[in-house]
Amino acid sequence: MDLYYEIQGKGAPVVLIHSPGVDSREWKFIAPILAQSFQVITFDGRGTGKSPAPTDPINLVEDLKRLLEHLNVGQAVLIGHSMGGQAAADFALTYPSMVSRLILLAPALTGFPYSEAFTQWMAQVNSFAPDLGKMIDYSLAGPNYRVVMSSPQRDFLIEMHTDYMRKVFTEWKCFEVNWPQPPAIERLEEIAAPTLFLHGTVEWGDMEGVAEQYKRVPSCEIIRIEGADHMLTLTHPAETAGYIEQFLKEPI
């Protein structure tokens, strides 16, 4: 397995796990802020950005473990966005000693029963395959992208999303993703790391449902960023980074 990664700054290690549909470039505003105080590790997941396409089933948790072992990082702060947040939480449940703190940005949740509206939207996006133009247009017209698609970062998101879709349909040999069992939704009480949950208010209703589940985590602070959508990393980076820095300064 090869993964493209970058390291900025010095200090305690902080690993940023990007959302699906984009790549590690989504951290371009947040990473430099955090790198003023921490060693910030960003990487492209399999088949995204500069990392090679998957040829076998993807295991995001084990990929992250191998990356940390390669970098000789025994314990780190994990910051995951969307499915990256899902991977971070599953990692924290599987390898609790390797996670000092867990920060989740609009995360997905393994085993969560997503609404019919959301699942139908996803199915509609996939139904346009292999017409990448239609897939991208319909995907980014989702209600969770209303803010970013009206922002100065609109073209940047379209560029990342287009690169992602093109790689998926021209390079990927396998589309299966394996997650640890039992699913995280059944084990949230077992998350030992202090947890911060950030999400915007312009989202699918499912996000409130996921946030409600995270109230079961023994130490979890939930913060809503008013006026942000799913891509708070692009439209609200300073505010997001500010909450992260404040959380990391709090004593455990």
Residue 175: exposure state from Cβ atoms within 10 A (0-12, 13-18, ≥19): exposed
CA–CA gap between residue 113 and residue 241 (Å, rounded): 30
Are β-strands 195-200 and 99-105 bridged in parallel, bridged antiparallel, or unpaired? parallel
Q: For position 79, what pLDDT does the model report? A: 99
- 45: closest CA among 34, 53, 35? 53
Q: Would you state the structure tokens that stand for residue 189, as one six-digit string?
A: 């009480």
Percent of the chain at pLDDT > 90 equals 98
39 Cβ contact list (under 8 Å, min separation 6): 7, 8, 9, 10, 11, 12, 13, 14
CA distances from 80 to 17, 198, 228 (A): 5, 10, 17
Strand (E) or helix (H) holding 220: strand 220-225
CB 24 within 8 A of CB 18: yes
Percent of the chain at pLDDT > 70 equals 100
Radius of gyration of the chain (CA): 17
Please indicate, yes or no, whether the overall pTM of this predicted structure exceeds 0.95: yes
57 — phi, psi (to 5°)? -55, 140
Tell me: the pLDDT tens digits for 106-165? 999 999 999 999 999 999 999 998 899 999 999 999 999 999 999 999 999 999 999 999
CB 85 within 8 A of CB 93: no
Tell me: the pLDDT tens digits for 191-207? 999 999 999 999 999 99
Strand (E) or helix (H) holding 100: strand 99-105
74 pLDDT tier (thresholds 50, 70, 90):
very high
Q: For position 252, what pLDDT does the model report? A: 77
Distance of CA 179 to the CA centre of its chain: 15
Q: For position 44, what pLDDT does the model report? A: 98
1 pLDDT tier (thresholds 50, 70, 90):
confident
